[in-house]
Amino acid sequence: MSLPPISSPDPLATRPVHSSGDVGSAWTGWIAFAGTIMIMLGIFHAIQGLVALFNSDYYAVSKSGLVVHADYTAWGWVHLIGGIIIAVAGVCLFMGQLWARAVGVILATISAVINIGFLAASPFWALIMIALDITVILALTVHGSEMKAERRM
């Protein structure tokens, strides 16, 4: 029994092809997830900043016990301003802004580093924030190109 002739010279053309909407829409969910997590991270940083500004006695160690010897007021402002920037970048990610992907990766990296510095003051909270930062970096770097394809449609 012989096989029927292939009408196309390209052997890959006989494979089933999914439409770009099917494949892209699945990964676009990861971008939406990253945007949601970025908004949450921004809110969490803002809360952490406000606590540092208004109640520095809340934390487990004094300012000399931090990795970076800084006053909790300075840490509070860093967390508050950083949190606002991260939340705005998360909202821009939902709006389909491609620059928000790069900004999101950079801000999540900075957030993780800042939380390493804040680890002694609030270990459990800082570890949660670092894990969320890593999740955002993963979602934005592995699945970010699909958002670009969705935006073209």
- Rounded CA-CA distance 39/67 in Å is 26
Q: Does the predicted TM-score (pTM) go above 0.85?
A: no
Q: What is the pLDDT of residues 57-110, one digit of tens each?
A: 666 565 566 666 667 788 789 889 989 999 999 999 888 888 888 898 999 999
Q: What is the pLDDT of residues 1-35, one digit of tens each?
A: 565 555 545 444 444 444 444 455 566 788 888 89
Cβ-proximal residues to 42 (8 Å cutoff; 6+ apart), any chain:
83, 84, 85, 86, 87, 88, 89, 90
- Rounded CA-CA distance 47/62 in Å is 19
Cβ-proximal residues to 97 (8 Å cutoff; 6+ apart), any chain:
none
